[in-house]
With several copies, the nearest count.
Chain A
Amino acid sequence: MGKKLRYPIGVRPLLIAESARRRRVEARIVSILDRAGFDEVILPIIDYAEPYAAAGAIDSSQTYRFVDRDGDLVAVRSDFTPMVARALAPAIAPGDLPLRVFYRGDVIRYRPSRLGANREMFQIGAEIIGDGSEKADIEVLSSVSSILRELGTNPIIVFTDATLPERIDPVAREWLATKRAPAGAPEVVKRLIAGTATTGDLPHDMADRLDAISRACPDCAIHLDDVDRARGYYTGLRFHAYDRASRSTIAQGGRYDDLYEKFGASAPAVGFTITCE
């Protein structure tokens, strides 16, 4: 049947030219991370789905899941961050921290809405585990920035604090995620939506931290109202990096201080993932 001439929708081989380009990009990123003291961990292609579902870490509607021969629900790798936590948590001794690790490989996501959209994405990411300070936030942001510049892209990096909405008002997330608040909403929400709010409007601890990061990362801009509909596993810094030309997301990341706990080792962590199409 003709159908089988092609690959499952969104999955494809890279022939010689494309592979060479992919490996060049990969090699340059890896050398930067090496120099910055990050060590590689290699993660399996498949893993049980249950530990991640229990930790609420992965959206099952986007993963390729199947029941294996032992009757367990297994998922194909769709997001590195929770996998790094599950792999390292049991092996972390307090003395090891802070730990700088990086990882690379393909992830596969199922996006029903976009017929045939590429599901297989090559990602390289890195994490600082065990350092809850803003110093680590700053190191991650500046690493992303320097890597993307090294690759010749002119990135726009915007950041905020993922817990901002809840710190203002339990329902604020819905308003900020649609940028539409009812008349009776708190003033600060309206100013956030209008873009006139400043860190001054925020609780002190959050404000000081964002200001410190802002000062240390001149080429990164604070977007206080950059809010997703769901917080995910992020608990602090949350940033997106864009290619100024194509306006497409080329990297994103943030702080997730309670993810490792779900896998048995209470250690804060902050990291980023670069997606190379």
Chain B
Amino acid sequence: MRIAIPKGRLQNNTLALFAEAGYDTPTEADIASRRLVFARGGIEWIFVKDCDVPIYVEHGAADAGVAGLDQLLEHDSTAYQPVDLPFGRCRMMLIAAPGAPALEALTLPKIATKYPRIARTWLDSRGIRAEIIPLGGSVELAAVLNLTTHVIDLVETGETVRIHKLEMQEVVAEISARLIVGKDVYRTAPLAVRELVARVSAAALAAA
């Protein structure tokens, strides 16, 4: 069984979760060694950028993994999401530049985002026409420099939004980290999967 651990903001909570679930997870030293693959306790742990977890699971290069719902939606992942985890909670918000009018009032608003697919689906569902400018990071800057009137981004503490005096107008999606398991794995290794799901659900409950 190969499990993909998301590097970045979800890494530590994920490792703690699996430890809580009784797994022999990679140690600090392992992680520091810059190696990416660790075989421990019968599980092959791989460290992958958080946005890549859904791709590794989709292509069967990993059986399971932990990823934020934002990445699952952006990659249109078909994997099962059996366990909603108690960390990584945040909101995908429509954020407006200071004094910018509501989205519907603008004829062709420009929206900067790291999530073009989620933005397009949400805008379609609201029948709103907009130009989407995909960016790699610090999306708020686009609104600050009024390159765009709005941005769609993850808001955790809301501090970045406050610093730049931006306005949170609408919730696009409630986000949380999720345990995902490849569709095919469910079919080809049902017992192993059931055990993983049971132990992780229990650990998640305990931690909540």
Whether A and B touch (Cβ < 8 Å) is answered with yes
Q: Residues on A close to B: CB < 8 A?
A: 2-3, 5-7, 10, 12, 14-15, 18, 90, 113-118, 156, 158, 177-180, 193-195, 221, 223, 225-226, 229, 240, 242, 244, 246-249
Contact partners of A3 in chain B: CB under 8 A: 124
Q: Sort chain B's interface into a size bin.
A: 35 or more
Q: With A180-B83, A180-B84, A221-B190 known to touch, is A6 a contact of B184 (CB < 8 Å)?
A: no
Contact partners of A180 in chain B: CB under 8 A: 81-84, 178
Q: With A115-B132, A193-B82 known to touch, is A240 a contact of B181 (CB < 8 Å)?
A: no
Within 8 A of A (CB), among B106-141: 107-108, 116, 120-121, 123-134
- Asked if residues B108 and A12 are in contact (CB atoms below 8 Å), the reply is yes
- Asked if residues B188 and A226 are in contact (CB atoms below 8 Å), the reply is no
**Cβ-defined partner of B188 (8 Å) among A115, A156, A179, A195:** A156
- Chain A's nearest CB lies how many Å from the CB of B71? 14
Once the chains are docked, how many angstroms separate the CA of A114 from the CA of B186? 22
Q: Jot down 21 A-B pairs with beta carbons below 8 A, ordered by A.
A: A3-B124, A6-B129, A12-B108, A12-B129, A15-B107, A115-B131, A115-B133, A116-B132, A118-B131, A158-B187, A178-B81, A179-B186, A179-B197, A180-B81, A180-B84, A193-B82, A242-B184, A246-B60, A247-B184, A247-B188, A248-B60
Contact partners of B170 in chain A: CB under 8 A: none
Within 8 A of A (CB), among B52-111: 60, 75-76, 78, 80-84, 107-108
- Asked if residues B187 and A5 are in contact (CB atoms below 8 Å), the reply is no
- Asked if residues B132 and A178 are in contact (CB atoms below 8 Å), the reply is no
B164 at the binding interface (Cβ < 8 Å): no
- Asked if residues B108 and A247 are in contact (CB atoms below 8 Å), the reply is no
- Chain A's nearest CB lies how many Å from the CB of B120? 7
**Cβ-defined partner of A240 (8 Å) among B84, B128, B187:** B187
- Asked if residues B127 and A223 are in contact (CB atoms below 8 Å), the reply is no
A159 nearest in chain B by CB position: B187
Once the chains are docked, how many angstroms separate the CA of A122 from the CA of B27? 47
Once the chains are docked, how many angstroms separate the CA of A131 from the CA of B182? 34
A90 nearest in chain B by CB position: B127
Most chain B C-beta atoms within 10 Å of own C-beta, residue among A14, A18, A114, A116: A116
Known: A118-B108, A179-B82, A180-B82. 15 other contacts (CB 8 A): A2-B126, A6-B128, A12-B108, A115-B120, A118-B131, A178-B82, A179-B81, A180-B81, A194-B197, A195-B193, A221-B190, A226-B186, A247-B182, A248-B60, A249-B184
A17 nearest in chain B by CB position: B107
**Cβ-defined partner of A113 (8 Å) among B75, B124, B182, B185:** B75
Contact partners of B123 in chain A: CB under 8 A: 6
Once the chains are docked, how many angstroms separate the CA of A158 from the CA of B182? 15
Contact partners of B76 in chain A: CB under 8 A: 113
Contact partners of B184 in chain A: CB under 8 A: 240, 242, 247-249
- Asked if residues B190 and A2 are in contact (CB atoms below 8 Å), the reply is no
Contact partners of B116 in chain A: CB under 8 A: 115
Once the chains are docked, how many angstroms separate the CA of A244 from the CA of B75? 26
- Asked if residues A10 and B131 are in contact (CB atoms below 8 Å), the reply is yes
Q: With A156-B188, A242-B184, A247-B188 known to touch, is A116 a contact of B194 (CB < 8 Å)?
A: no
- Asked if residues B187 and A242 are in contact (CB atoms below 8 Å), the reply is yes
Contact partners of A177 in chain B: CB under 8 A: 80
- Asked if residues B131 and A116 are in contact (CB atoms below 8 Å), the reply is yes
Q: With A118-B131, A180-B82 known to touch, is A223 a contact of B187 (CB < 8 Å)?
A: yes
- Asked if residues A5 and B60 are in contact (CB atoms below 8 Å), the reply is no
- Asked if residues B80 and A179 are in contact (CB atoms below 8 Å), the reply is yes
- Chain A's nearest CB lies how many Å from the CB of B193? 8
Contact partners of B185 in chain A: CB under 8 A: 247
Contact partners of A12 in chain B: CB under 8 A: 107-108, 129
B207 at the binding interface (Cβ < 8 Å): no
**Cβ-defined partner of A156 (8 Å) among B80, B107, B127, B187:** B187
Nearest first, the 7 closest Cβ-Cβ pairs linking A and B are A5-B127, A179-B82, A179-B80, A116-B131, A195-B194, A115-B132, A2-B125
Contact partners of A115 in chain B: CB under 8 A: 116, 120, 131-134
